[in-house]
Amino acid sequence: MSNEFYQLSVNGVAHEVRDAWAGESLLYVLRERLGLPGTKGACEQGECGSCTVLMDGEAVCACLVMAATAVEAEITTVEGLSSDGEPTDVQQAFVDAGGVQCGFCTPGLVVAVHHLLERTANPSELQIKEAISGNICRCTGYGRIFAAVKQARDNRLAM
Amino acid sequence: MATTTATSRATLGTSAVRPDGMPKVQGRFAFASDVWADNMLWGATLRSPHPHARIRSIDVSGALAINGVSVVITADDVPGQLTYGLITSDQPVFARDVVRYAGEPVAAVAADHPETARRALDAIRVDYEVLSPLLDAEQAIDGSFAAIHPDGNVIRNQRVIRGDQSFVGDVIVEGSYELGMQDQAFLGLEAALALPDEDGAGVELFVATQWLHEDQKQIAACLDMPLERVRITLGGVGGAFGGREDISLQVHCCLLALVTRRPIKMQYGREESFFGHIHRHPARIVMRHHADRDGTLRRVEARAVFDGGAYASTSSAVLINAVTHMQGPYRCDIATVDGYVVRTNNPPCGAMRGFGVVQACFAHESQMDKLAVACGLSPVDIRLKNAMRTGDRLITGQIVESVAPVERCIRETAALPMPAPLLDEPDALELPGGSGLTARRSNIRRGVGWGVSIKNLMYSEGFDDYATARCRLADGVVTLQFATAEVGQGFVVLAQQIARTVLGIDTVLLEPISTAIGSAGSTSASRQTWMSGGAVDGACRLVREQLFAHVGATHDVDPLRLAIDATEVIDTMGTLRVAVADAARGLVLDETFEHHHRATEELDENGQGNCHVAFAFVAHRAVVDVDPDLGLVKVVQIATAQDVGRVLNPLAALGQVEGGIAQGLGLAVMEEIVLVNGKMRNPSFTDYLLPTALDAPEVVVTMIEEPEPQAPLGAKGIGEPPCISVTPAIVAAIRDATGKALTRVPVRPQDIVFGD
Amino acid sequence: MTVINATTIDQVVSALREYPQARLVQGGTDVMVEVNLNRARVHDVISLRRVNELRRWHVDEESGTVRIGAGVPYAEMERAPLCLHVPALGEAARTVGAPQIRATGSLGGNLGTCSPAGDGLPVLSALDAVVHLRSADDARDVVVHDFMLGVKQNAKRADEVIVAITVPLLVGFQGYAKVGMRNAMVISAASACLVHDADNGNVRLAFGAVAPTIVRARAAEAWLAERVSLRNSLTLDGAIAREFGQLAAKECAPIDDHRSTADYRRHAVAVLAERLLLRAAEQQGRDE
């Protein structure tokens, strides 16, 4: 039951973490130990959403998950949203709609929007805003991000 | 950073897709915090807890005793110049004898893990003799506090005196206005990776910055190295907004790498970021406006005091922007302005989007509303009546030669649709207080307010802030090189659009952004579209000239008759039409171009002189819903018409406008670094609040396109104007809804509830 | 530092005996902030993430109560069916931090941390909730008022774990309101929960973030009960609601800090209490 080493399942791949300091967050372990720097950190306290990952299907802040407690959970990061390297519909919509400027908030937002659209096929404008109200963007003022989410939503509904 | 490519017919004027967009959405884009090297160590910084103290001694033995700690460095380890700074070199790399603000670097460590480094910092013993801090800017001016720095407590005092100083208007309004300290709060925290050269006599730095060559100059001086031994490559930048113009961790990181001879990674956390970069100046501005009874503005009197904090940074330039824009986008012949920016033991302040004009604008726009009331005019009519035009003079005597469509900005903003009225039973998320469920529909009052602004573009007062770019055409592919910091604004896509337009070639590669080419100046002052855009355009045109010479010689046509039509070279007076790709086959054309803007002058002692290059204008109309009993605000809509010269990328331009508005909204109603006795009380995203998706208003935009003759592409910079007059517009709307005076931003709930 | 990933409450309490200094971590949204910001040097950690017993809730019709596992996330309280049983808790849950925080944050964490700004706590106070604790040696129930002792101080012993909270199923309005400085993801500057227990004829009011711990406005509750019939129906005029709010605000002891001022907080809770009472009366009117 202790943590001399532990296993994490990330994007469908089992990883062994050895000799880690137990206080390391999932964010740190993903970025610095597992070679998955797509998940970003910007506040260390769950107030910006940049580090959003899916954990057993729930969107959570990786900075607030103690990595050694994330054993036996299925973790999905921005790198694992598609398996073939092709962009997902949400990723494509963010590019097309101008939802990306500096791009630091983008991976967390993309994960949060995937989570939203998988739960709620046809979210209203307010549902979209509430769902991403934990993801701070400092560049865009959110206008093009809303446009991207609506584009992804509408494309899915049209399929 | 990998070379990025794009192939499309996305020329100037189209919403070309940015080349870094796809890597960013997939998590593949390398930000400065994402780079690493084998065998690297982690650097960390020890900072003073006191705003003002003498350092008696520093004992690093406890830190060095920790397993995994490689080195601890202090001021004694700085080989070259002990200080740095953008305008004056007054800020120590590490405090040596005295600390002048809470958060000032005192030492740095290198260790094998961030947690080890943190424990090492905790183990360093610094013996401080705590001194009483200078916190009141007025005390810095009146000389009642001993100098806290060898350069003195007044960083700069500048008057602007023009016209009949005895003039008294028929109508006089006055007010005193105050702005709190705003933070840039870019999402991507300060980060760098330094790689020492094998011989220990040079260093390579990957860093998120706004101005590579200025960093290079300052780092080299502190390291006592020739410039060329400090090689800087831009690490991916997660926003900047002025906050990366100054040195933060650059010298520390390089120095640790040189001392340990190992790669060093440094990365601030959010709390340290608040200490590690400069902020927007808090300011107090007292103004008196004189006008004729019909509302014609005649004289502006102002006294402005900006708190620059412990070190100078760009304070003197910020002050100049404030005092020279004090009349706003209005004609005014008489001015009596006195401005101070002073040194205190508060955190240092410097560049942030809007750069001094944000502060002046909040004051002059509040005054224009008072003047409107005093003259019986509407907020729109008072502004139309006084709107500046091309050819008018500023209070500095400088003639505004720029396109100046102020009247159009106001009229076209007014013509934009108002938001729908609040529903009888709205969703709680649409009301002030949001999901807190504080609001009752019947208590909500709606208000409308206005703000208009003028903003200088590029640097001022004689500074030649040129930009360099290189264009290489080989095998039908264009490669561009420049040192223009891409901080999120989208210069990388604009550069590709320029090359496609000028050369008719779709495949445009971008070299890494580095000091391997000449300076592009800073990504600030709304200048890169104009300056680096002009440089890329110039380099591409030089290549095109050579291409035309070659085609002319091959086809026996005067090169002057040739032009690019989409992807072909055509003879404008004949029938020749040849694909650029074919015409360029076998050629290697390589040109470098420096774009310089026209020269500017320093101000004289009365603040007179042609100190600015050019100007842009914007109008904002804000609609807010206020819950007056709780003092909570929901910004419903911002309408804006912005003078942009020419839209080069509609989607990117819209993104700049919407993003700037959100930052101005933040200053209006929530963003402030709270200082108590010189110490920050809220250096975190829990307590320094940024607008969320549920705080974002509807934004309706009109771009005013009147091409600017001075500008290489006809386009003015668009980054700063959106965040300037939106703040006073929102405050005016809250005043309209509540009848309160509200002379301070950010407007806090208690100001609305208890204010006069 | 050792991390123990427990899967049963029995494992948790025996680990607590073995590691008396251990911190219990449910969602991590409080503890990891301390670790990340170097505010606390955490020695050993017992993770409750995989203790499924803590993530269950059920309605006990016989006793008229809902027992909510200490690890049930706020996201579940926001949604039906749980928010239909305890509406004020649903409203409070929706104001907790970011959606990502609500996915893992829980009442156990709120009670364990015991910040006066904890969004769930005024609701538990207004509902007279009971906190269920377990140790290797015993199990005990503590009324929430006796559990919350001060700023980040509670009655839980080091060898105990909070396993669940029981709240009553009530007939009548219940609501939560919270003032923050932006429209989402914000720490409370002042909050209030008002519950109308129509069967027992009382109105209960609790405030958050206006004293070292949650405040129950008992004097104002008593004042109201003397003036207005609260059994079954609830009819009142605006003047009564206003006075109720002002009286209740006198029971707070707010402070000035970087989030707000004492004067504003006192004012705000008066407004919140008044508006909540008006909402209660309006809902009663609609239901009739």
**Whether residue C185 sits in one domain with residue C233:** yes
pLDDT in tens, A121-149: 999 999 999 999 999 999 999 999 999 99
**C183 alpha-carbon distance from chain centroid:** 20
Q: Residue range B314-342: average pLDDT?
A: 98
Where a domain ends, among A50, A77, A104? A77
CB contact under 8 A, A25 and C185: no
CB contact under 8 A, A134 and C97: yes
**Whether residue B559 sits in one domain with residue B425:** no
Q: Which two tokens stand for residue B106?
A: 């005192």
- If we measure between CA atoms, which residue out of C153, C156, C150, C118 comes closest to residue C135? C156
The answer to whether residue B470 scores a pLDDT higher than 50 is yes
pLDDT in tens, B50-95: 999 999 999 999 999 999 999 999 999 999 999 999 999 999 999 9
Q: Which two tokens stand for residue B393?
A: 């003079």
Q: Residue range B250-267: average pLDDT?
A: 98
Residues from B contacting C (CB-CB < 8 Å) are 118, 122, 269, 271, 429, 432-438, 440, 629-632, 634, 670, 674, 676, 681-682, 684, 686-687, 689, 691-695, 748-750, 753-754
Candidates A23, A46, A64; nearest CB to C42: A23
Q: List, as one string, the DSSP characters of B526-585.
A: T-HHHHHHHHHHHHHHHHHHHHHHHHHHHHT--GGGEEEETTEEEETTS--EEEHHHHTT
Write out chain C residues lying below 8 Å of B624, CB-based.
Answer: none
A84 belongs to a structural domain:
no
pLDDT in tens, C241-270: 999 999 999 999 999 999 999 999 999 999
Where a domain ends, among A77, A103, A121? A77
Q: Which chains touch A (3 or more CB pairs under 8 A)?
A: B, C
Q: What is the CATH number of the domain that holds A61?
A: 3.10.20.30
Q: Are B746 and B183 in contact (CB under 8 A)?
A: no
**Whether residue C157 sits in one domain with residue C34:** yes
**Whether residue A69 sits in one domain with residue A97:** no
Q: Are A104 and A44 in contact (CB under 8 A)?
A: no
A143-158 helix and B650-669 helix, angle to the nearest 10 degrees = 120
* H or E segment and range at residue C113: helix C107-113
Q: Is the dihedral of CA B497, B498, B499, B503 positive or negative?
A: positive
Q: Residue range A18-29: average pLDDT?
A: 94
Q: Please, what is the end-to-end C-alpha distance for chain C in angstroms?
A: 59
- If we measure between CA atoms, which residue out of C68, C25, C28, C5 comes closest to residue C161? C25
Which residues 58-87 of chain A have a CB within 8 Å of chain B? 77-79, 87
Where a domain ends, among A54, A77, A100? A77
Q: What is the CATH number of the domain that holds C256?
A: 3.30.390.50
Q: Are B744 and C258 in contact (CB under 8 A)?
A: no
- Distance, in Å, from the CA atom of B532 to the CA atom of B522, rounded to the nearest integer, reads 10
Candidates C175, C176, C179; nearest CB to B632: C179
**B47-79 exposure pattern, b = at least 16 Cβ within 10 A, e = fewer:** bbebbbbebeebebeebeeeeebbbbbbbebbe
Confidence of residue B494 (pLDDT cuts 50, 70, 90): very high
Give the pLDDT of residue B204.
98
CA-nearest residue to A23 within chain C is: C35
Give the pLDDT of residue C43.
84
CB contact under 8 A, B189 and A101: no
Write out chain A residues lying below 8 Å of B635, CB-based.
Answer: none
Q: Are C143 and C108 in contact (CB under 8 A)?
A: no
**Whether residue A122 sits in one domain with residue A63:** no
- Distance, in Å, from the CA atom of B203 to the CA atom of B43, rounded to the nearest integer, reads 16
**Whether residue A66 sits in one domain with residue A11:** yes
The answer to whether residue C10 scores a pLDDT higher than 70 is yes
A83 belongs to a structural domain:
no
- Distance, in Å, from the CA atom of C67 to the CA atom of C87, rounded to the nearest integer, reads 15
Give the pLDDT of residue B6.
47
CB contact under 8 A, B189 and A96: no
Q: Are C116 and C208 in contact (CB under 8 A)?
A: yes
A115 belongs to a structural domain:
yes
Q: Is the dihedral of CA C208, C210, C214, C215 positive or negative?
A: negative
**Whether residue B623 sits in one domain with residue B690:** yes
Give the pLDDT of residue A125.
97
B9 belongs to a structural domain:
no
Q: Are B350 and B313 in contact (CB under 8 A)?
A: yes
**Whether residue A150 sits in one domain with residue A96:** yes
* H or E segment and range at residue B301: strand B297-307
A82 belongs to a structural domain:
no
Write out chain A residues lying below 8 Å of B662, CB-based.
Answer: 138, 140-142
pLDDT in tens, B562-574: 999 999 999 999 9
**Whether residue C225 sits in one domain with residue C189:** yes
CB contact under 8 A, B660 and A141: yes
- Distance, in Å, from the CA atom of B142 to the CA atom of B137, rounded to the nearest integer, reads 9
Whether residue B697 is preceded by a cis peptide bond, meaning omega within 30 degrees of 0, is: no
**Whether residue C189 sits in one domain with residue C257:** yes
B75 belongs to a structural domain:
no
**How many structural domains does chain C have?**
2
Confidence of residue C288 (pLDDT cuts 50, 70, 90): low
**Whether residue B639 sits in one domain with residue B542:** no
For residue A97, the distance in angstroms to the closest alpha carbon of chain B comes to 8
Q: Are A46 and A64 in contact (CB under 8 A)?
A: yes
**Whether residue A55 sits in one domain with residue A107:** no
**Whether residue B628 sits in one domain with residue B687:** yes
Give the pLDDT of residue C115.
95
Amino acid letter, B696: A
**Whether residue C34 sits in one domain with residue C12:** yes
CB contact under 8 A, C177 and B436: yes
pLDDT in tens, A33-79: 999 999 999 999 999 999 999 999 999 999 999 999 999 999 999 99
**Interface contact C93, partner A, CB < 8 A:** no
CA-nearest residue to A23 within chain B is: B115
Q: Residue range C126-135: average pLDDT?
A: 98
**What letter would DSSP give residue C210?**
S
**How many structural domains does chain A have?**
2
Helix (H, G, I), strand (E, B) or coil at B653: helix
Where a domain ends, among C152, C168, C184? C168
Q: Which two tokens stand for residue A12?
A: 């469908």
Percent of chain B with pLDDT over 70: 99
- If we measure between CA atoms, which residue out of B275, B316, B240 comes closest to residue B121? B275
Write out chain A residues lying below 8 Å of C54, CB-based.
Answer: none
The answer to whether residue B4 scores a pLDDT higher than 50 is no
Helix (H, G, I), strand (E, B) or coil at B45: strand
- If we measure between CA atoms, which residue out of B713, B703, B636 comes closest to residue B445? B636
Q: What is the mean pLDDT of chain C?
A: 96
CB contact under 8 A, A95 and B25: yes
pLDDT in tens, B396-444: 999 999 999 999 999 999 999 999 999 999 999 999 999 999 999 999 9
Write out chain C residues lying below 8 Å of A44, CB-based.
Answer: 33, 36-37
Q: H helices within B73-136, ranges in order?
A: 114-123
- Strand pairing of B334-342 and B297-307? parallel
- Distance, in Å, from the CA atom of C278 to the CA atom of B143, rounded to the nearest integer, reads 57
Q: Are B721 and B618 in contact (CB under 8 A)?
A: yes
The range of the structural domain enclosing residue C192 comes to 174-287
Confidence of residue B582 (pLDDT cuts 50, 70, 90): very high
Q: Which chains touch B (3 or more CB pairs under 8 A)?
A: A, C
What is the number of other CB atoms lying within 10 angstroms of the CB of residue B505?
A: 23
Where a domain ends, among C118, C148, C168? C168
Q: Supply angle C-alpha A90, A96, A98, rounded to 5.
A: 100
CB contact under 8 A, A64 and C6: no
The answer to whether residue B25 scores a pLDDT higher than 70 is yes
**Whether residue B530 sits in one domain with residue B624:** no
Helix (H, G, I), strand (E, B) or coil at A5: strand
For residue B630, the distance in angstroms to the closest alpha carbon of chain C comes to 6
Give the pLDDT of residue B48.
98
Q: Which two tokens stand for residue C195?
A: 């519950």
**Whether residue C195 sits in one domain with residue C158:** no
B102 belongs to a structural domain:
no
- Distance, in Å, from the CA atom of B535 to the CA atom of C206, rounded to the nearest integer, reads 65
**B603 alpha-carbon distance from chain centroid:** 23
- Distance, in Å, from the CA atom of C145 to the CA atom of C126, rounded to the nearest integer, reads 10
B668 belongs to a structural domain:
yes
If phi > 0 it is left, if psi is from -120 to 50 it is alpha, else beta; for residue B261 that is left
What is the number of other CB atoms lying within 10 angstroms of the CB of residue C80?
A: 8
Q: Residue range C50-59: average pLDDT?
A: 97
Burial label, B636 (beta-carbon count in 10 A; 0-12, 13-18, 19+)? buried
Give the pLDDT of residue B9.
80
Which residues 44-83 of chain A have a CB within 8 Å of chain C? 44-47, 49, 52, 58-61, 63-66, 68-73
pLDDT in tens, B26-46: 999 999 999 999 999 999 999
For residue C31, the distance in angstroms to the closest alpha carbon of chain A comes to 8
pLDDT in tens, C68-93: 999 999 999 999 999 999 999 999 99
CB contact under 8 A, A59 and C103: yes
**B524 alpha-carbon distance from chain centroid:** 5
**Interface contact A111, partner B, CB < 8 A:** no
Question: What is the phi/psi pair of residue B115, to 5°?
Answer: -70, -40
CB contact under 8 A, A46 and C4: no
What is the number of other CB atoms lying within 10 angstroms of the CB of residue B580?
A: 23
The residues, ordered by sequence, that sit 6+ positions from A48 with a Cβ below 8 Å of its Cβ are A42, A105, A108, A134, A135, A136, B187, B685
pLDDT in tens, B122-163: 999 999 999 999 999 999 999 999 999 999 999 999 999 999
Q: Give the number of residues written for chain A.
A: 159
Write out chain A residues lying below 8 Å of C32, CB-based.
Answer: 25, 63-66
The range of the structural domain enclosing residue A11 comes to 5-77
CB contact under 8 A, C1 and A131: no
Write out chain B residues lying below 8 Å of A110, CB-based.
Answer: 25
Percent of chain B with pLDDT over 90: 98
CA-nearest residue to B750 within chain C is: C264
Helix (H, G, I), strand (E, B) or coil at B462: coil
**Whether residue A73 sits in one domain with residue A36:** yes
Helix (H, G, I), strand (E, B) or coil at B501: helix
**Whether residue B470 sits in one domain with residue B446:** no
CB contact under 8 A, A141 and B662: yes
For residue C175, the distance in angstroms to the closest alpha carbon of chain B comes to 9
The answer to whether residue C57 scores a pLDDT higher than 80 is yes
Write out chain B residues lying below 8 Å of C88, CB-based.
Answer: none
**How many structural domains does chain B have?**
2
- Distance, in Å, from the CA atom of B114 to the CA atom of B458, rounded to the nearest integer, reads 40
Give the pLDDT of residue A3.
52
Give the pLDDT of residue C40.
79
Q: What is the CATH number of the domain that holds B483?
A: 3.30.365.10
The range of the structural domain enclosing residue B486 comes to 21-30+466-595
The answer to whether residue B8 scores a pLDDT higher than 60 is no
**Interface contact A140, partner B, CB < 8 A:** yes
**Whether residue C222 sits in one domain with residue C191:** yes
**Whether residue B548 sits in one domain with residue B431:** no
Return the residue in A27, A33, A101 with the most chain B beta carbons within 10 A, the one to mutate for interface testing. A101
**Whether residue C199 sits in one domain with residue C80:** no
Q: Are B27 and A77 in contact (CB under 8 A)?
A: yes
**Interface contact C29, partner A, CB < 8 A:** yes
For residue A19, the distance in angstroms to the closest alpha carbon of chain B comes to 12
For residue B303, the distance in angstroms to the closest alpha carbon of chain C comes to 29
pLDDT in tens, B521-574: 999 999 999 999 999 999 999 999 999 999 999 999 999 999 999 999 999 999
**What letter would DSSP give residue B166?**
T
The answer to whether residue B2 scores a pLDDT higher than 60 is no
**Whether residue C267 sits in one domain with residue C127:** no
**Whether residue C182 sits in one domain with residue C157:** no
The residues, ordered by sequence, that sit 6+ positions from C282 with a Cβ below 8 Å of its Cβ are none
pLDDT in tens, B693-734: 999 999 999 999 999 999 999 999 999 999 999 999 999 999
Q: Supply angle C-alpha C164, C167, C170, rounded to 5.
A: 160
- If we measure between CA atoms, which residue out of B213, B631, B271 comes closest to residue C34? B271
**Whether residue B574 sits in one domain with residue B618:** no
**Whether residue C257 sits in one domain with residue C276:** yes
* H or E segment and range at residue A128: helix A125-131
**Whether residue A69 sits in one domain with residue A101:** no
Q: Are B380 and B387 in contact (CB under 8 A)?
A: no
CA-nearest residue to B682 within chain C is: C258
Where a domain ends, among C111, C141, C168? C168
- Residue B454 pairs in a beta bridge with B617
Q: Are B251 and B93 in contact (CB under 8 A)?
A: yes
**Whether residue C228 sits in one domain with residue C107:** no
